[in-house]
Amino acid sequence: MDDINFFDKVYQVARLIPVGRVTSYGAIASYLGTKGSSRMVGYAMQAAGKVVPKVPAHRVVNRQGLLTAKFHFGGNLMAELLESEGVQVKDDQVQDFKTVFWDPNIELAL
């Protein structure tokens, strides 16, 4: 359980997401080099809630900017957290997604 693996990598990148910004599963997967494992990124988030330090999974959304993880958080907790950080969310959808979008391949480039 304490061993490092693909999951930890996802958690690290997710924790690097600045406040007020959001990223997509595919972006993280691509940054890790496993673009095909985009699904695994989301799967890792499922365990993120039980990992420490707590991972801001609420800052991770799908390619459309839709709060898919919201169903797992329970209620609109995810949207509340994002709005609390300055991210505008409407109808479980991130507004100006391309503006608040934080791509590790670009921000963490090099």
Partner DNA sequence: CGAGTGACCCTGG
Partner DNA sequence: ACCAGGGCCACTC
Report the interface residues with DNA, using CB under 7 A: 5-7, 24-26, 34, 36-43, 45-49, 57, 60, 62-64, 68-69, 71-73
Q: Minimal distance in Å, beta carbon 101 to DNA?
A: 11
Q: Minimal distance in Å, beta carbon 8 to DNA?
A: 8
Q: Minimal distance in Å, beta carbon 43 to DNA?
A: 5
Question: Between 2 and 90, whose beta carbon lies closer to DNA?
Answer: 2
Question: Between 66 and 95, whose beta carbon lies closer to DNA?
Answer: 66
- Which SS3 state, helix, strand or coil, does residue 93 take? strand
Q: Minimal distance in Å, beta carbon 109 to DNA?
A: 18
Which residue from 102, 107, 106, 105 is spatially nearest to 31, judged by alpha carbons? 105
Torsion angle of C-alpha atoms 15, 44, 47, 93, degrees rounded to 10: 70
Rounded Cα distance between 52 and 3, Å, is 13
Question: Between 34 and 88, whose beta carbon lies closer to DNA?
Answer: 34
Q: What share of the chain is helix, strand, coil (3-state, %, to 5)?
A: 50, 10, 40
From residue 94, give the alpha-carbon distance in Å to each of 11, 13, 77: 21, 20, 14
Question: Between 40 and 88, whose beta carbon lies closer to DNA?
Answer: 40
